[in-house]
């Protein structure tokens, strides 16, 4: 799209993670990355406000970091440039409109947006790609926090509409995922692995058979040790992880985890960085756990408790 400068609004302590994952890519593509700290997490509009000095009076693309969109944004850019709209948003049909900002449309324009409506007027969700003129900052500085305590980008868009700044939209029918819940993150992982999984599998199988059964698609990061285990399908394992004598299916295992001798199959699970799961100390009555903030742990596969967990 001709964009060379990318501002990443992040919690200050996350800079290292982004640097590690993006620096080489940005260099190769000749992109300049600018880290913009957001010291308090007060919503998307608040995040955009942190970038005001960086953006100046330029129009800009806003992408939500937890949205995966399998479509080019060229149509969004074209539509924005061909009209006098102050904002163009990407929309898509969703099955659970209560989870999204929902658009009410008329004559190619958005006439109303509502954040996570209890009674949605449509199933057209505003998904995480937007283009705005700098006039959006008038809106951002005027809105107040929502019921969930956030400065909502939806409220900023509604402020624009109410003050006669046109907002139009482009519809995508390609896959999109908001990975903001466990279930949706796992679904996005499945989808990504279906698209890109195979090459890493073959490489891994050749190099480290180690008495494993690997059921593709699976992605295994650098410097992992996997022995006597069944992995897959739909498992993503980040670097420096050790898995021994365990079964892992449909899961996301972040960096530096260690899973050993697990008597239960690990399925539909997400393990944060450096999580340790050791089965060998277990007997019938006790487990020892060290979980990070907001961890969830299900011994049963019963549907009701899982659904609760994914909220």
Among 103, 126, 129, 136, the residue binding ligand G1P under the rule CB under 6 A is 126
The phi-psi region of residue 43 (left if phi > 0; otherwise alpha if psi is between -120 and 50; otherwise beta) is left
Among 85, 87, 132, 152, the residue binding ligand G1P under the rule CB under 6 A is 152
The 3-state secondary structure of 167-195, one letter per residue: EEEEECCCCEEECCCHHHHHHHHHHHHHH
Task: Report in angstroms how near the CB of residue 162 gets to ligand G1P at its nearest.
Answer: 17
**Distance spanning both ends of the chain, measured CA to CA:** 36
Q: How far apart are CA 186 and CA 179, in angstroms?
A: 8
Q: With residue 119 as reference, give the H or E element that holds it.
A: none
Site string for ligand G1P, 180-219 (x = CB under 6 A): x---------------------------------------
Site string for ligand G1P, 20-59 (x = CB under 6 A): ------------------------x---------------
Stretch that binds ligand G1P, among 8-16, 150-158, 265-273, 291-299 (CB under 6 A): 150-158
Q: Residue 251 — φ and ψ, nearest 5°? A: -145, 165
DSSP result, 64-93:
-TTEEE-S-SHHHHHHHHHS--SEEEEEEE
Residue placing its CB nearer to ligand G1P in the complex, 119 or 280: 119
Q: Are 152 and 125 in contact (CB under 8 A)?
A: no
Cα Rg, the chain, nearest whole Å: 22
Contact call for residue 154 and ligand G1P (CB under 6 A) = yes
Q: Which position's Cβ is nearest ligand G1P?
A: 101
Contact call for residue 97 and ligand G1P (CB under 6 A) = no
Task: With CA atoms as reference, report the closest residue to 262 among 251, 241, 276, 252.
Answer: 276
What are the structure tokens assigned to 146, written together? 């929502």
Stretch that binds ligand G1P, among 3-11, 33-41, 84-92, 146-154 (CB under 6 A): 146-154
Q: How far apart are CA 238 and CA 243, in angstroms?
A: 12
Among 47, 55, 69, 127, the residue binding ligand G1P under the rule CB under 6 A is 127
The interface with ligand G1P within residues 217-246 (CB under 6 A) comprises none
Contact call for residue 261 and ligand G1P (CB under 6 A) = no
Contact call for residue 125 and ligand G1P (CB under 6 A) = yes
Contact call for residue 115 and ligand G1P (CB under 6 A) = yes
Query: Where on the chain is the footprint of ligand G1P (CB under 6 A)?
Result: 44, 64, 67, 100-101, 115, 125-128, 152-154, 178, 180
């Amino acid at each position: 799209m001709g964009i060379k400068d990318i501002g990443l609004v992040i919690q200050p302590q996350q800079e290292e993670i982004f640097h590690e994952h993006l620096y080489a890519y940005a260099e190769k593509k000749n992109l300049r990355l600018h880290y913009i700290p957001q010291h308090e997490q007060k919503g998307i509009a608040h995040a955009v406000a942190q970038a005001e000095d960086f953006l100046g009076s330029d129009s800009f693309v806003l992408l939500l970091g937890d949205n995966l969109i399998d479509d080019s944004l060229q149509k969004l850019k074209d539509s924005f440039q061909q009209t006098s709209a102050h904002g163009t948003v990407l929309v898509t049909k969703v099955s659970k409109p209560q989870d999204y900002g929902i658009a009410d449309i008329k004559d190619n324009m958005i006439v109303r947006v509502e954040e996570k409506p209890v009674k949605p007027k449509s199933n057209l969700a505003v998904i995480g790609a937007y283009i705005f003129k700098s006039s959006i900052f008038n809106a951002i500085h005027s809105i107040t926090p929502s019921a969930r305590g956030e400065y909502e980008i939806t409220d900023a868009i509604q402020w624009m509409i109410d003050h006669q700044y046109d907002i139009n939209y482009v519809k995508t029918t390609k896959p999109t995922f908001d990975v903001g819940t466990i279930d949706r993150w796992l679904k996005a992982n499945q989808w990504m692995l279906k698209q890109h999984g195979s090459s890493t599998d073959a490489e891994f199988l050749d190099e480290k058979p180690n008495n494993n059964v690997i059921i593709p698609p699976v992605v295994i990061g650098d410097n992992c040790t996997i022995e006597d285990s069944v992995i897959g399908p739909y498992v993503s394992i980040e670097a420096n992880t050790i898995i021994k004598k365990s079964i892992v299916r449909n899961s996301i295992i972040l960096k530096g985890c260690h899973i050993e001798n697990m008597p239960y199959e690990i399925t539909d699970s997400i393990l944060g960085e450096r999580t340790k799961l050791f089965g060998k100390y277990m007997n019938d009555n006790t487990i020892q756990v060290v979980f990070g903030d907001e961890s969830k742990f299900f011994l049963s596969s019963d549907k009701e408790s899982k659904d609760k967990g994914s909220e």
